[in-house]
């Protein structure tokens, strides 16, 4: 790739914010010319957006950039690329067809990304699937069902390689013979978490593991935020299956909403902490996930839809069966699903609607009960 070392140098350069680096690229065209530019040229561009000298107090501006420019070196970039070459790690720049439209449409994306594996055709739709690390049996069921359907429709599944729903989304994709992208909050020198080393290798065999961080960078807290933002940028649609109010999945979802992405949230019981975030997302602009909502996911934005509790597509027959079941004893969600002859997603919609209508309640014993009953 042309001038790789200069792209890595500019991306890793400390002392200049991303906005300033983008401004330099807009004016000079490429990182190689930026590296070889004089301090006066850099100062003028960052002060005025022009190559020409201005009447700005140049002394103070030059002093701000003098140390950064006098100490610039390709040494760090060369070391990063050397390590990447040893471990088959590739570089993505704004010139790459897989990254060009993402970089152009989102001013906060990094100048470069690093990846292992292989990327599919850039026009292939990408659906992000994220959720709780401590997912419920319901979350697992929705994940497996949704991911299998999405893979069957030709979508790439993107997630964060974390425990719980993220890992399950990757594994289900692989089992369905699909392509999945994993976005990680560290360099690609190891898996994050380390226990997902085998899974990371399996993903890279047919898909890709992508990160904004170079070889050797560890997964510090702020890098999870950076990873989440990049994941949100790559997705055409983001499906949040389970998430607590304060969680990485919620951070990813809110980032996606700000970027104008289509965000779907799976409704669930108001009494289950792992669904407090997804229920909250519905009030923040996300759309309710229903069985047919993911059909034909592509690059076309979802048309605004006003959702209400009455829009759940459950059967009144299901409700009658559930009431009859709960008259004798409280039951877990899994026990109800086994007893109701309908799809599990429809059952959960029914349970949610019945809970909102104060017909049933989910108690601390982990079971559903009739209101006023056992």
For residues 13-25, give the mean pLDDT: 93
Instruction: Tell me the pTM.
Output: 0.75
For residues 306-331, give the mean pLDDT: 66
- The confidence score (pLDDT) of residue 76 equals 95
- The confidence score (pLDDT) of residue 327 equals 86
In a domain, 94, yes or no: no
Choice between 364 and 46, residue whose per-residue pLDDT is larger: 46
CA distance 95 to 80: 20
- The confidence score (pLDDT) of residue 340 equals 76
CATH number at residue 348: 1.10.10.10
Of 21-30, 57-66, 72-81, the poorest mean pLDDT is in 57-66
Whether residue 327 is found in the same domain as residue 283 = no
For residues 174-179, give the mean pLDDT: 97
CA distance 43 to 141: 56
Q: Is residue 60 classed as helix, strand or coil in its secondary structure?
A: helix
Whether residue 133 is found in the same domain as residue 280 = yes
CA distance 47 to 94: 24
Whether residue 217 is found in the same domain as residue 351 = no
CATH number at residue 125: 3.40.50.450
> ∠ at Cα 343 (263, 298), nearest 5°?
30
Choice between 298 and 173, residue whose per-residue pLDDT is larger: 173
- The confidence score (pLDDT) of residue 301 equals 36
Residue 307 has pLDDT above 50, yes or no: no
Q: How many domains does one find in the chain? A: 3
Whether residue 126 is found in the same domain as residue 214 = yes
Q: Domain residues for 351?
A: 313-370
- The confidence score (pLDDT) of residue 342 equals 53
Tell me how crowded residue 217 is: count the other CB atoms within 10 A of its CB. Answer: 17
Q: Can you point out the beta strands (E) in the chain?
A: 90-92, 113-117, 126-130, 156-159, 180-183, 208-211, 237-240, 262-265, 287-288, 360-362, 368-370
Contact present, 223 and 254 (Cβ < 8 Å): no
Q: Is residue 211 classed as helix, strand or coil in its secondary structure?
A: strand
- The confidence score (pLDDT) of residue 341 equals 65
Whether residue 343 is found in the same domain as residue 302 = no
- The confidence score (pLDDT) of residue 369 equals 86
Whether residue 127 is found in the same domain as residue 57 = no
Taking only the tens place, the pLDDT of each residue in 328-345 is 888 887 788 777 765 544
Whether residue 266 is found in the same domain as residue 134 = yes
Of 242, 250, 233, 311, nearest to 275 (Cα)?
A: 242
CA distance 136 to 366: 11
Whether residue 134 is found in the same domain as residue 240 = yes
Whether residue 51 is found in the same domain as residue 123 = no
Residue 294 has pLDDT above 80, yes or no: no
- The confidence score (pLDDT) of residue 250 equals 93
The model's confidence at residue 285, banded by pLDDT at 50, 70 and 90, is confident
In a domain, 92, yes or no: no
- The confidence score (pLDDT) of residue 311 equals 35
In a domain, 155, yes or no: yes
What's the distance, CA 189 to chain centroid? 21
Residue 171 has pLDDT above 70, yes or no: yes
Contact present, 137 and 333 (Cβ < 8 Å): yes
Whether residue 80 is found in the same domain as residue 120 = no
Q: Over pLDDT 70: what percentage of the chain?
A: 83
Whether residue 127 is found in the same domain as residue 263 = yes
- First and final C-alpha spacing in the chain: 68
In a domain, 98, yes or no: no
């Amino acid at each position: 790739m042309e001038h790789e070392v200069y792209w890595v140098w500019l991306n890793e350069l400390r002392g200049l914010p991303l906005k300033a680096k983008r401004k330099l690229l807009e004016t000079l065209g490429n990182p190689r010319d930026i590296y070889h530019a004089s301090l006066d040229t850099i100062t003028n561009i960052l002060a005025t957006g022009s190559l020409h000298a201005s009447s700005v107090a140049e002394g103070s501006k030059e002093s701000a950039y003098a140390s950064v420019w006098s100490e610039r070196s390709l040494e760090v970039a060369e070391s990063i690329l050397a390590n990447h070459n040893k471990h088959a790690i590739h570089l993505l720049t704004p010139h790459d067809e897989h990254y060009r439209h993402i970089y152009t449409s989102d001013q906060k994306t990094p100048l470069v990304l690093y990846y292992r594996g292989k990327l599919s055709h850039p026009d292939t739709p990408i659906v992000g699937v994220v959720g709780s690390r401590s997912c419920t049996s319901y979350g697992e069921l929705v994940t497996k069902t949704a991911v299998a359907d999405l893979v069957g429709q030709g979508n790439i599944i993107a997630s964060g390689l974390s425990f719980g729903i993220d890992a399950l989304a990757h594994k289900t994709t692989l089992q369905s013979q699909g392509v999945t992208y994993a976005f990680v909050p560290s360099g690609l020198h190891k898996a994050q978490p380390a226990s997902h080393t085998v899974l990371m290798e399996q993903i890279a065999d047919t898909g890709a593991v992508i990160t904004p961080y170079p070889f050797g960078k560890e997964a510090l807290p702020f890098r999870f935020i950076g990873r989440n933002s990049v994941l949100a940028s790559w997705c055409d649609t983001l499906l949040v299956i389970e998430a607590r109010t304060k969680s990485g999945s919620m951070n990813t979802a809110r980032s996606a909403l700000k970027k104008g992405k289509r965000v779907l949230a799976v409704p669930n019981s108001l009494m289950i902490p792992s669904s407090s975030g997804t229920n909250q997302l519905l009030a923040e602009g996300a759309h309710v996930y229903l069985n047919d909502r993911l059909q034909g996911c592509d690059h076309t934005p979802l048309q605004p839809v006003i959702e209400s509790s009455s829009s759940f597509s459950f059967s009144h027959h299901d409700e009658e069966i559930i009431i009859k079941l709960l008259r004798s004893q409280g039951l877990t969600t899994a026990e109800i699903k086994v007893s109701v002859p309908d799809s599990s997603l429809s059952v959960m919609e029914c349970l949610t609607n019945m809970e909102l209508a104060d017909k049933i309640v989910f108690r601390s014993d982990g079971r559903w009960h009739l209101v006023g009953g056992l």
